[in-house]
């Protein structure tokens, strides 16, 4: 297993601003910073013309005034969409965010990043490679971003493109072959739905040298329990009550 360092804080603001801002936007990052958070998580994918932008879903419908598969559209069309008004009037006109602008905002706020590589179906390797190469360039002089993905192919492409950037495998269901998967990808961490974790599993994971990031924890009592088990990072939507100094 890789011996890379783990410079990241205990608490990570989910999709930038958690429940307090439209997810995966520059406005969300600003909200996370306002609450004192020093690390954010967000989702990155490719437009039809290979621009890297932030969006969680394959489709635009839930978090913008657009519709259909985002990866099928060129950036000049995506750039016209409103990604804020669905959340609230205060965010009317907030655009989709480009990765390069996110890197600048992280630099301004002195924030670290967990970049979840979120490929459109069928573009796993291409997205993994493109996001990783861009991250290496854009985060120069900052703490290396932690790359993660549910896609083994995307992480494999990331490892090939920039092996020095830290990687974490995302799992939403327990896999008995987690040890082989994380070793093959030279992962520094495993990122789990917190419901998959108990004290025994946490100890087993930690014994291999893996760091553990869990999502999405919004209950302070559960957060304390997980930290007590040795969990290294908790991704939360409740950035107001599970703050950067939470213990």
DSSP code per residue over 64-127? SS--SBGGGS-HHHHTTS-SSTTT-GGGTTPPPPBHHHHHHHHHHHT-EEEEEE-PPTT-HHHH
Judge whether 109 counts as a catalytic residue: no
Nearest to 1 by CA among 201, 148, 228, 168: 168
Q: Tokens standing for 181?
A: 């998967």
Residue 247, Cβ density class (10 Å: 0-12 exposed, 13-18 middle, ≥19 buried): exposed
Q: Are strands 233-236 and 211-215 parallel, antiparallel or unpaired?
A: parallel
Beta bridge mates, 157: none
| 228, containing H or E segment | helix 220-228
Nearest to 53 by CA among 87, 17, 102: 102
Judge whether 76 counts as a catalytic residue: no
Q: Which of 14, 37, 191, 194 is catalytic?
A: 14
Which residues contact residue 117 at a Cβ distance below 8 angstroms, ignoring those fewer than 6 apart? 44, 45, 127, 128, 131, 132, 147, 148, 149, 151, 154, 155, 158
Q: Which of 37, 56, 76, 109 is catalytic?
A: 56
User: Hey, which residues are catalytic here?
Assistant: 14, 56
């Amino acid at each position: 297993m890789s011996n890379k360092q783990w410079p990241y804080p205990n608490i990570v603001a989910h999709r930038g601003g958690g429940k307090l801002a439209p997810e995966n936007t520059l406005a969300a990052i600003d909200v996370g910073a306002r609450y004192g958070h020093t690390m954010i998580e967000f989702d990155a994918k490719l437009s039809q013309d290979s621009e890297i932008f932030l969006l969680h879903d394959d489709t635009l419908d839930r978090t913008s005034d657009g519709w259909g598969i985002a990866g099928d559209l060129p950036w000049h069309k995506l750039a016209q969409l409103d990604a804020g008004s669905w959340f609230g009037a205060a965010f009317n006109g907030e655009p989709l965010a480009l990765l390069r602008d996110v890197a600048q905002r992280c630099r301004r706020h002195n924030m670290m990043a967990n970049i979840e590589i979120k490929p459109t179906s069928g573009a796993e390797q291409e997205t993994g490679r493109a996001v990783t190469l861009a991250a290496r360039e854009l985060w120069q002089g900052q703490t290396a971003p932690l790359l993660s993905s549910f896609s083994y192919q995307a992480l494999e492409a990331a490892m090939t493109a920039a092996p020095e950037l830290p990687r974490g495998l995302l799992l939403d269901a327990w896999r008995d072959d987690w040890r082989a998967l994380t070793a093959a990808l030279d992962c520094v961490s495993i990122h789990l739905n917190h419901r998959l974790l108990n004290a025994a599993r946490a100890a087993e994971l930690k014994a291999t040298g893996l760091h553990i990031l869990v999502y999405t924890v919004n209950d302070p009592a559960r957060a304390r329990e997980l930290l007590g088990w040795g969990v290294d990072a908790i991704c939360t939507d409740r950035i107001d009550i599970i703050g950067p100094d939470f213990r």
